[in-house]
Structure 1
Amino acid sequence: MGLISDNNERAYLEEIKYLENCCQENNLLLNVRKTKELIVDCSKKQERHYQPVRISGTTVERVDSFRYLGVHISQDLSWSRHTNSLAKKARQRLYHLRCLRDFRLPSKVLRNFYICTIESILMGNITVWFGNSTKQDRQALQRVGHSAERITHTESLDLQSIYYKQCQTKARRIVKDPTHPNNRLFSLLRSGKRFCSLMTKIERLKRNFFPQAIRSLNQGN
């Protein structure tokens, strides 16, 4: 990661050069064909043109979205592409759930299959993307849960509740670990009973993990 400030790419390009040199010094081969460049520009100004990045004489492909550890990160910091991918994958597995229902398997077995193969997809890294996802994206995912509810005849998951619970669990883990890089973001007020709220400059990040986690912690206290 490198910062492009005031349209000056020097620090960004130096970071890439450092990575290239580090790989060479440690006898690591960097596969440029599998390396992608993603530029996140939140400014509302006219579209800027950045010079292409070259590593070992090969130009790195620039993309508008990249899948990292199962999460689709887009250059506009929206999560529609990621949630659409989750919904599509989950709907495909609903077919197998319907097949098991047609075999007249017990509801308990259908429920276990749903939790292991479908709900696990919808819950993956939920603290990262759910807080900033749109209402339409959330409804698309929730419809998958409602479909599974009709198939298994059991109550489906509530993504909002799961998100709150996982935020609180993750926040408590970070608070208890002083070595965690984000530990400093959870600071107590002078009373020592409530945590401070985080202020964010980018509108779409106001509902991200940290403010939600702080609210969850304060509600728990």
Structure 2
Amino acid sequence: MDHLVTWCEENHLELNALKTVEIVVDFRKNAAPPAPITLCDSPVTAVESFRFLGTIIAQDLKWEQNICSLIKKAQQRMFFLRQLKKFNLPKTMMVNFYTSIIDSILTSSITIWYATAKDKGRLQCVIRSAEKVIGCNLPSLHNLHASRTLRRAGKIVADPSHPGHKLFKPPPLWQEAALHQDQNLSPPEQLLPLRYRPLKQCPAPPLTLTTATT
């Protein structure tokens, strides 16, 4: 903590101890209580969860509180979508409203919490409600997560200065041929596991007719 205070002073930054909290993530059964932290001669409050850039991070790294917060925000905005329905607005306008106002809430930090969240179905219910109001199909939560992950992966691959850029190493030569068999996938999509790749529509099997003569 002293190093942090010194670094902030050297870079002309001022720490606000009243807005600073401490969260301890420790899954040991017999974990010893951590020593209290002081910042600028002020004690730092220990909390079980806190909001960081709109995302609620809990001490047990579960996302129930965050999902409840997202659902509450999305439901509030669903009211305005229903009002647009009453005014008989075109579906394209309602879809644009949903994408910019509601979809952006449901996908907030989705690349962080989607893989480990257990109650994602509650968010999918919000999407189904919007589908009934608009009268058309909307991207599922799984597809939204896949698209956001691809977008994030593409930015990391294109930015050599990103700390995670080196994690996207090219595969060995013996895997490269199999990896690039599907030319319809973009480079970020080819880096994803098979279960997260976009689904492709399989062509219908050829129809064969047989005739019998007597």
Scaled to the shorter chain, the TM-score interval is 0.7 to 0.9
Pick from 156, 159, 162 the counterpart of residue 180 of structure 1.
162
The Cα RMSD (Å) is 2.4
Pick from 114, 117, 127 the counterpart of residue 101 of structure 2.
117
Query: What count of residue pairs does the alignment treat as equivalent?
Result: 186
Q: What residue number does 1:142 align with?
A: 124
Counterpart Cα distance in 2 of 1:57 and 1:22: 17
C-alpha contact 1:90 1:144 (8 A) present in aligned 2: yes
CA pair 217-132 structure 1, distance change in 2 beyond 3 A:
closer
Counterpart Cα distance in 1 of 2:95 and 2:144: 17
C-alpha contact 1:167 1:216 (8 A) present in aligned 2: no
C-alpha contact 2:146 2:196 (8 A) present in aligned 1: no
Matched position secondary structure for 1:149: helix
Counterpart Cα distance in 1 of 2:113 and 2:41: 36
Aligned 1:48-67 pairs, distance under 5 A: 48-67=32-51
Matched position secondary structure for 1:132: coil
Q: CA deviation at 1:165?
A: 2.3
1:73 equivalenced with 2:57 (yes/no): yes
Structure (1/2) with the larger helix percentage: 1
Q: What residue number does 1:30 align with?
A: 15
Flag the structure with larger Rg.
Answer: 2
C-alpha contact 1:186 1:214 (8 A) present in aligned 2: no
Counterpart Cα distance in 2 of 1:82 and 1:146: 20
TM-score, normalising length: structure 1 = 0.75
Matched position secondary structure for 1:18: helix
AA of the residue aligned to 1:66: F
Counterpart Cα distance in 1 of 2:148 and 2:126: 20
Q: CA deviation at 1:218?
A: 9.3
| Identical-pair percentage | 36
Stretches of 4+ moved more than 4 A in 1? Answer: 216-220
